[in-house]
């Protein structure tokens, strides 16, 4: 399967290149960066510290889609929306691990999914997707006298907060309780007059160091506490999941899919 990488020179882009080169059944179709990038023309193999590969970083994303069976995108929301348009035009599968997506970006993915297989997930790791299912089950089983708090920590360079994974966990907990996250989300407390509102799902955000991603869902009840935790030791787990998703799209009908679909959890 020919797999292209947009945002190839970023931290995730380099890990994705390495994953494609190391997985049987995958062929690197190319990688792109925006026009004016200082890495344009650099060999993709040398970019990740491997042997020269023969393909260099370009800036023509349209050409990358035409050369690929699937394109993997861990860029930023507006770029992802543009890539979704190319996916819809070409029918090439799109794997989206970009976080911070808002309604208009999801609408762009929905339009692409009418013509191509699109896999979108706030987190591509197998463990996190199991955690999402467990969070929904526990929230459904425990009563409203258990307060739900979601704590997450990421590296100092992460730009969105709470993380997409934390918000997905909040949505899973809300689904388990039969409510909408938007109606019960508490994303910040500061000062004195901020008592906890019964039924709210709270979020705590920590940034620092080089933490790949830690998430804990806390169910705090009278006399006891249940905690579900996932700790990512390396971003490589996200790259592995994304390439697994790309391979899964081969021969798949157009549609908007999740990692739960890829892993057979739904």
Q: Is 154 a catalytic residue?
A: yes
Q: Is 158 a catalytic residue?
A: yes
**Residue bearing tokens 């500061």:** 190
153, burial (CB in 10 Å: exposed 0-12, middle 13-18, buried 19+): buried
Q: Return the bridge partners of 119, or none.
A: 95, 257
CA dihedral of residues 48, 53, 57, 61 (deg, nearest 10): -110
**Residue bearing tokens 């790259």:** 239
Is residue 94 within 8 A of residue 119, CB to CB? The reply is yes
Pick the catalytic residue from 158, 175, 215, 230. Answer: 158
**Residue bearing tokens 């297989």:** 117
The string of DSSP codes covering 75-104 is S-HHHHHHHHHHHHHH--EEEE------HH
The string of DSSP codes covering 129-160 is HHHHHHHHHHHHHS-TTSEEEEEEEE-TT--S
C-alpha separations of 136 from 122, 147, 151, 212 in Å: 16, 14, 16, 24
Pick the catalytic residue from 83, 105, 154, 215. Answer: 154
C-alpha separations of 168 from 49, 55, 196, 217, 226 in Å: 34, 36, 21, 11, 19
Q: Return the bridge partners of 152, or none.
A: 205, 215
Catalytic residues: 154, 158
């Amino acid at each position: 399967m020919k797999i292209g990488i947009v945002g190839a020179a970023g931290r995730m882009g380099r890990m994705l290149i390495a994953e494609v080169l190391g997985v049987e059944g995958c062929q690197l179709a190319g990688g792109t960066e925006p026009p004016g990038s200082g890495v344009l023309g650099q060999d993709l193999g040398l970019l990740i510290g491997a042997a020269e590969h023969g393909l260099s970083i370009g800036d023509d994303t349209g050409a990358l889609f035409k050369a690929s069976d699937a394109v993997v995108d861990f860029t930023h929301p507006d770029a992802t929306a543009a890539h979704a348009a190319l996916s819809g035009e070409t029918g090439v599968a799109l794997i989206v691990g970009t976080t911070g997506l808002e309604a208009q970006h999801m609408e762009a993915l929905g339009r692409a999914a009418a013509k191509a297989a699109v896999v979108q997930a706030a987190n591509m790791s197998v463990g996190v997707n199991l955690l999402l299912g467990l969070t929904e089950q526990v929230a459904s089983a425990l009563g409203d006298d258990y307060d739900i708090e979601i704590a997450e920590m990421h590296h100092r360079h992460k730009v969105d907060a709470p993380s997409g994974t934390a918000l997905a966990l909040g949505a899973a907990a809300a689904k388990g309780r039969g409510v909408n996250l938007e109606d019960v989300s508490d994303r910040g407390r500061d000062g004195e007059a901020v008592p906890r509102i019964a039924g709210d799902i709270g979020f705590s955000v920590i940034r620092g160091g080089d933490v790949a991603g830690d998430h804990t869902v806390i169910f705090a009840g009278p006399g006891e506490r249940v905690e579900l935790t996932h700790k990512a030791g390396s971003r490589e787990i996200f790259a592995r999941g994304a390439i697994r998703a790309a391979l899964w799209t081969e021969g798949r009908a157009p549609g908007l899919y999740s990692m739960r679909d890829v892993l057979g959890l739904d």
